Amino acid sequence: MDFALSQEQQEHRDYVRRFAREVIRPVARRHDEEESTPWEVMKEARRWGLQGIEHMQRMGADPAGQFGVITAEELHWGCAGIALAIQGSGLAAAGIAASGTPDQIAEWAPQCFGTDDEIQLGAYAVTEPQAGSDVKSLKTTAKLDGDEWVLNGTKVFITNGGIADVHVVVATVDPELGHRGQASFVVAKGTPGIRQGKKESKIGIRASHTAEVILEDCRIPVENLLGGMDKLNKKLERARSGQKAGSSNALATFEMTRPIVGASALGIAQAAYEWTLEYLGEQTVDGGRPALEEQRIQQVLADVATEIDSARLLVQRAAWMGRAGIPMTGGQGSMSKLKAGDVTMWATTTLMELVGPYAQTTDCPLEKWFRDAKIYQLFEGTAQVQRLVISRMQARTYQERFAQAAEVAAQALNPSSNGTSENGAGSEREPTTTTA
């Protein structure tokens, strides 16, 4: 077991940190104050190879699964809002990759990013006014009318909502089946019936565009159903017959992206911690002693550093499991997001208290990191929902192990039930044939 980053991973981390320091941070405050989309930074990110379909493919090809979380943490170290503007389209692309056919992936995923000359955006539209973290309760409907699907409903708090070139919309085809009656659809820019509603003014991640998406008799071609009609019909047939089902496509997409969200949160926490160390390194306490030699300050900084590192290890483990194809049956993906989100909110709050009154002024960068931190306890599943997911998955795993242990014990107590004769030798039997 090797906990060290490889030479290639370290070089990539340093490369993204340099981009964050030289390109993102100089304009972060302006875009935060103006709540403006940082198009010039996104174009520069493309030039640096940190945005676009080629970047996504390179991240996916990493055998250890670490390049994605490294990139997310370092970009968010620069500015969370700008980082989301750069990376937000990736969620739509992930939704297409999770549900689409090879032809649909080839057609639509590149359109979530555009080209070097023309940046395009993707939006993954799931959340609704009455269904936030509970994706099973979505009310947006999709009804088949001839060779078209007709979508109706309202989505809220959608990253790139209304300005995206590609919207991936999760809608209900059969309300009686819950999440098993849902499907994902691609709505191209300019399609009649889709429009932006209210643009949200947020306390944090203000450089990331967030808005309502309103669908009113929005007609799309039947081939814009991700996965195709045959796949949907088989899924609905299984659901109606009572066969066991896996998770919804939306839930599957979120599970794979949760380590990325956790890493994003840690970028904020790491930035706040590093700045506080630098700031306190120049301060003195009573008697002129350096602040960093004060034990009460050392205690707090030690706790912050320990919590950040522990959260990062959970993120790295979940990212590795996802890339290696190891099922996260114990809720490891949710653990990584939960821990990182909570640590980041706690760390920014604690560091502000350590710095004192200066921390609540707009001249101090801690106030922005504090504002940016809160969303990581809310979106892509609130902290409370993550706890439910983890506890239920842990209980299910325990029950399965207990059942397996009980079966082994029963076989040990009753060897004959396992095809073993009284003297302990195994017996072979001719297969029995029956005729009608």
Question: Catalytic amino acids?
Answer: 380
DSSP string, 148-175: EEEEEEEEEEEETTTT-SEEEEEEES-G
Residue 207, CB half-sphere, CA atoms under 13 Å: how many?
A: 27
| CA distance linking residue 139 with residue 234, whole number of Å | 22
CA 302 distance to own-chain centroid: 28
* Alpha helices, H only, 180-294: 229-240, 249-280
Asked if 359 contacts 299 with a C-beta cutoff of 8 angstroms, the reply is: no
Encode 45-56: b = buried (16+ Cβ within 10 Å), e = exposed.
Answer: bbeeebbbbebb
| H or E element at residue 215 | strand 210-221
Task: List the structure tokens of 212.
Answer: 């309502």
Residue 360 has what DSSP assignment?
Answer: G
Q: What angle do the packed helices 25-34 and 39-47 form, to 10 degrees?
A: 150
User: Which two three-digit tokens encode residue 106?
Assistant: 């080839």
Residue type, 192: P
Q: Which residue has the tokens 């699907």?
A: 149
Residue type, 320: W
215 in Cβ contact with 150 (< 8 Å) = no
Angle in degrees, 0-180, between the axes of helices 249-280 and 332-355, rounded to the nearest 10: 30
User: Position of tokens 């970028």?
Assistant: 267
Alpha carbon distance 96, 107 (integer Å): 10
SS3 of 8-30? HHHHHHHHHHHHHHHHHHHHHHH
Residue 246 DSSP one-character state? -
